[in-house]
A and B are shown apart, each in its own frame.
Chain A
Amino acid sequence: MRFDKPATTNPIDQLKVVGQPIHRVDGPLKTTGRAVYAYEWHDPNNRYAYGYVVGSAIAKGRIKSIDVTAARRAPGVIAVVTSDGVGELKKGKYNTAKLFGGREIQHYHQAIAVVVAETFEEARAAAALVKVDYIEEKGAFDLAAAKDTAVKPEEGGSDSAAGDFDAAFETAPVKLDQVYTTPDQSHAMMEPHASIAAWNGEELTVWTSSQMIDWWRTDLATTLGIDKAKVHVMSPFVGGGFGAKLFLRADAVLAALAAREAKRPVKVALPRPFLMNNTTHRPATIQRIRIGAERDGRITAIAHESWSGDLPGGGPEVAVQQTRLLYAGENRMTAMRLATLDLPEGNAMRAPGEAPGMMALEIAIDEMAERLGHDPVEFRIVNDTQVDPENPERPFSHRNLVACLRTGAERFGWQDRSKQPGGRREGNWLVGMGVASAFRNNLLVPSGARVRLDREGIVTVETDMTDIGTGSYTIIAQTAAEMLGVPIDKVAVRLGDSRFPVSSGSGGQFGGNCSTAGVYAACIKLREAVAQRLGFNNAEGLVFARGEVRAGERSMSLAQAASDEVLVAEDRIEFGKLAETHQQSTFGAHFVEVGVDVATGETRIRRMLAVCAAGRILNPITARSQVIGAMTMGVGAALSEELVVDKERGFFVNHDLAAYEVPVHADVPHQEVAFLDETDPISSPMKAKGIAELGLCGVAAAAANAIYNATGIRVRDYPITLDKLIKGLPELS
């Protein structure tokens, strides 16, 4: 199905199942431990061996020699695989650094060997016996130091401009010119990367933890130099990803190579400390923002420049892209510059670009509102735009940022905010409120699905879509149930298997809308097949409800259509030019109240509210869950999360969950989420958009602005830890 005209009324609009607060259908499997995650697959006929990764002990240089003699002799060891032994491997399309390093070391903890043994413990003990001689080289690890060497990235789109920024900024009566920094961050999802690989002749099956089945399948085939058709990837349950599992990772490659060598299925999980340095991370940024405005609050000039670093061949963190679209202003420019750093690979993490970009932009907007003497909510509203400000002929498909801000202000009690920073104190707490816009684009990715109907009236959906804790199983079941007029318990959903039609996968908050749109397309085809089988003239005008198919007086049971043989329909949603003619985005407003301890500078969140306008909400329970999770991640970004770079040794030092501090329950006392009741027919037949990353964009800035409101101290370097506040806090008596 090609979607190139705005959606009109369709069966989804019935909202009997879609849009209902249905608990996740895979919940019982998870709460009873029956959902099988990557490392847990167990076939009693298989004798699994265990692989343990050896990571580089240096950040940059060469391997002079690897001595695996002792490791090979260690108890239980079946094989030791080094990159010397497997020859040159190709690199997958989506990887920047090699997943299995050769003699050249590109980053700390880059995989250089895998030790395979009868037990995990034997493999781990033997891995410690691998002796490596390195020739260490000096590397570049400090973004601030490398900033001046940064260049315009090769792939286009790094710069944009409209009007004459310099002239307009020069003459603007009120101006801001500030620099903000965001640190490297780790996905830190619960389930580490893990894979089991098994060879059957030339055929390879990998059970893994992947957000994007087809990307993994393709890149695994490329890396190993085998035919993609011979690779089978399974990932039905994923314990969180946040972008860490978008792209093929070392565990899958090493498991495949180890299994070939061991001639047995091999399990490989990355130990937790490998997550930070072996895999990818959100790159740090340095951002300069300039804003010029008239005294009435209208922005006349806005510029956003960002510097980030990556390994050679990598890309920039696209931190400026929201500034191109969020606020009005005739004269504008954005630019991104990329430095070469020898840190681990920078890549996508939840709301890549948007999240760090909004962390900076939305402080800048708060600062500008203050300079103008305007309320930060009103300042944002004054500068709302209904068109792409760089291309005014291009409207937003649907944009209701203003209602998010107004609704949020009212629900949060914004009028009680002290206009004077440091003006509200409760006991030892300095209390403040902050606001930020939430803004994340809506991406459209083709997505396929297959739908089966059997004689019992059971509808089975098959798609390689993944559920990374987001609720894909549930919203897909809702979609099929709505389309075919059956209760949700008559729908079975099978995901995360490369034998199923290729889907959008889970990333960029496109999975919810696109994968259900793909299921919608397949269901339209199945409806046609049902109509034909039951002897209706055509599917149009047919009513699918309560397990029956009805046209006028004539009514048949849906199951009867499959009485002779299972009915199967497959289709794929593809998106036309609507994303070019219209800017599709999602909107929201984040409100945060913080307390800052007047003595110690500890910041504790007191309450948070997100108001979101993101098209149709397919399931308010799973959508809310996405948003509160994102808000929590935003609290981490604001207050504690930072991969600390050792600038001498070139690695992220705090590489475990004790030292890389994500929020715990005690940090997140009260969260409220509201969704505006809206649809976006230009987005898809579902009229839905993404929500999972919107929930993150702006949160940290709202917290930063609340800290400023509480203390009068403006911190422009995340995370806002107490050491950045303590010198500015009031004298104690």
Chain B
Amino acid sequence: MRAFSYQRASSIEEAAKAAVGTEGAKFIAGGTNLLDLMKLEIETPTHLIDVNGLGLDRVEPTPEGGLRIGALVRNTDLAADERIRRDYALLSRALLAGASAQLRNRATTAGNLLQRTRCPYFYDTNQPCNKRQPGSGCAALAGFSRQLAVVGVSDACIASHPSDMAVAMRVLDAAVETVRADGTRRSIPIAELHRLPGDTPHIEHVLERSELITAVVLPKPLGGKQIYRKVRDRASYAFALVSIGAVVQPDGTGRVAIGGIAPKPWREEAVDNELANGAKAAAAKLLANARPTEQNAFKLTLVERTLSAVLAEARG
């Protein structure tokens, strides 16, 4: 870990100002991922701006009938929120499928979206990794890739996004509200938050430097049967090999997003129309441009079979 300075921000303006004014500054909220990365010198911020005091920790109704989730709402609190459990059960289930109770107590809504890949080569600073050190190469392509992405990948990077929560947010069409350094605010659809790696896998999202997520907004409830199915080697405390978030309506229409297979939660709106035709057709469309490695090709079958089980559960 490199030495860094630290400040506690008491307002969004103060946080933004500090971020703009300090080269190498980073926001810290729960710190469940950032601190690990700093210890390994994968992240080397020179200055940390602690945003935990900004009060963005409430879940409030929106005029549109949805919910605005403060950026700092902890994963545990969000999963336990009565409105979330009732109207967005998918989200509650996805949250509880992630990490451990201790980590969820600390981890925040915004931080969860911005957590970084768990590709083992990204975590080992002796190894080449285009995401950690642009231009150094990708050791995962010919190396240990079982856990990594099969779609949305590039020759530069096959890292997968590790979040469960983000998969649910993607199904629910959440929007990310931010404030930029100049004080202007914007709303980013979750579909557009994360970027695919292309030639620049180190750039993972569309946020500008010093842009701060203030809330995640859920549209009004979708109803339907809400399922989050996470497939993993051990029963708890493991990242998804494949996960499926689904909302299925009584008439068989619905929405589905897949985790564990791409650099971002993987959803194609066009596939939603295929759901009534069964898992095979839907999975084929979702994975049409898949480029698996020998080690993770099983995920193609796994997506189809898991989706099949999810749809069966929804019907049942």
Contact = CB atoms under 8 A, between A and B. Distances in A.
Contacts of A125: 1-3
B236 A640 contact: no
Given A57-B126, A667-B234, 13 more contacts: A121-B1, A598-B309, A600-B302, A602-B233, A639-B233, A640-B234, A644-B146, A653-B121, A655-B120, A661-B238, A722-B233, A726-B302, A732-B308
Interface stretch (B69-77, B106-114, B137-145, B209-217): B137-145
Interface string B276-316: 00010000000000000000001001100110110010000
A117 to B, nearest CB: 12
A75 interface: yes
Contact of B305 (A663, A667, A729): A729
Nearest to A605: B235
A726 B297 CA distance: 11
Interface in A574-625: 597-602, 604
| Centre residue among B2, B233, B309 by max chain A CB count within 10 A | B233
B41 interface: yes
Interface in A626-678: 639-640, 644, 646, 648-649, 653-656, 658-659, 661, 663-667
A69 interface: no
A727 interface: yes
6 contacts: A125-B1, A125-B3, A600-B305, A649-B139, A653-B143, A658-B239
Given A600-B302, A659-B118, A664 B1 contact: no
B124 interface: yes
Contacts of B143: 646, 648-649, 653
B127 interface: yes
Nearest to B2: A125
B205 interface: no
A646 B144 contact: yes
B309 A723 contact: no
Contacts of B239: 658
| Contact residues on B (Cβ < 8 Å of other chain), bracket | 35 or more
A222 interface: no
Given A128-B41, A653-B144, A729-B305, A663 B234 contact: yes
Given A125-B1, A599-B308, A646-B139, A722 B302 contact: yes
CB-based closest 3 A-B pairs: A599-B309, A666-B235, A57-B126
Contact of B234 (A121, A654, A664, A733): A664
B33 to A, nearest CB: 11
Contacts of A600: 231, 242, 302, 305-306, 309
Contact of A639 (B1, B144, B234): B234
A380 interface: no
Nearest to B233: A640
A121 B3 CA distance: 9
Give chain A's interface secondary structure class. Answer: loop
Contacts of A659: 118, 120, 147
B6 interface: no
B298 A654 contact: no
Interface of B: 1-3, 39, 41, 118, 120-121, 123-124, 126-127, 139, 142-144, 146-147, 231-239, 241-242, 279, 298, 301-302, 305-306, 308-309, 312
A726 B305 contact: yes
B234 A665 contact: no
A723 B308 CA distance: 17
Nearest to A644: B144
Contacts of B127: 649
A658 B123 CA distance: 11
A722 B234 contact: no
Contact of A723 (B3, B146, B279, B306): B146
A428 B316 CA distance: 12
Contacts of B309: 428, 597-600, 732
A124 interface: yes
A407 interface: no
A664 B235 contact: yes
Contact of A726 (B39, B120, B232, B298): B298
A721 interface: yes
A108 to B, nearest CB: 8
A653 B126 CA distance: 11
A142 to B, nearest CB: 13
Interface in A27-50: none
A125 B308 CA distance: 50
Interface in A121-178: 121, 124-125, 128
Nearest to B139: A649
Contacts of A653: 120-121, 124, 143-144
Contacts of A128: 2, 41
A274 to B, nearest CB: 12
Nearest to B231: A600
Q: Which of A125, A604, A666, A732 has the most CB of B within 10 A?
A: A732
Given A729-B305, A732-B305, A667 B236 contact: yes
A644 B146 CA distance: 10
Given A600-B306, A646-B139, A667 B123 contact: no
Contacts of A666: 234-237
A428 B309 CA distance: 9
A76 to B, nearest CB: 10
A418 B99 CA distance: 37
A722 B235 CA distance: 13
Contacts of B39: 124
Nearest to B295: A723
Interface in A692-733: 721-723, 726-727, 729, 732-733
Interface in A78-113: 108
Contacts of A726: 298, 301-302, 305
Contact of B236 (A57, A124, A649, A665): A665
B299 to A, nearest CB: 8
A665 to B, nearest CB: 7
Contacts of B238: 661
Contacts of B312: 732-733
A130 to B, nearest CB: 12
B298 A723 contact: yes
Nearest to A721: B233
Nearest to B309: A599
Interface in A45-88: 57-58, 75
B67 to A, nearest CB: 30
Contacts of A665: 236
A410 B176 CA distance: 59
Contacts of B232: 602
Given A649-B143, A658-B118, A722 B1 contact: no
A128 B38 CA distance: 12
A656 B298 contact: no
B241 A722 contact: yes
Interface in A350-380: none
Contacts of A644: 144, 146
Residue of B3, B39, B237, B279 ringed by the most chain A CB atoms within 10 A: B237
A665 B238 CA distance: 12
Contacts of B121: 653
Contact of B235 (A428, A599, A667): A667
Contact of B3 (A75, A654, A727): A75
B295 to A, nearest CB: 8
A650 to B, nearest CB: 11
Contacts of A648: 139, 142-143
A631 B3 CA distance: 44
Contacts of A733: 312
Interface in A272-331: 273
Nearest to B126: A57
A640 B232 CA distance: 10
Nearest to B304: A732
Nearest to B143: A646
Contacts of A723: 146, 298, 302
A727 to B, nearest CB: 7
A666 B96 CA distance: 14
Nearest to B142: A648
A666 B1 CA distance: 33
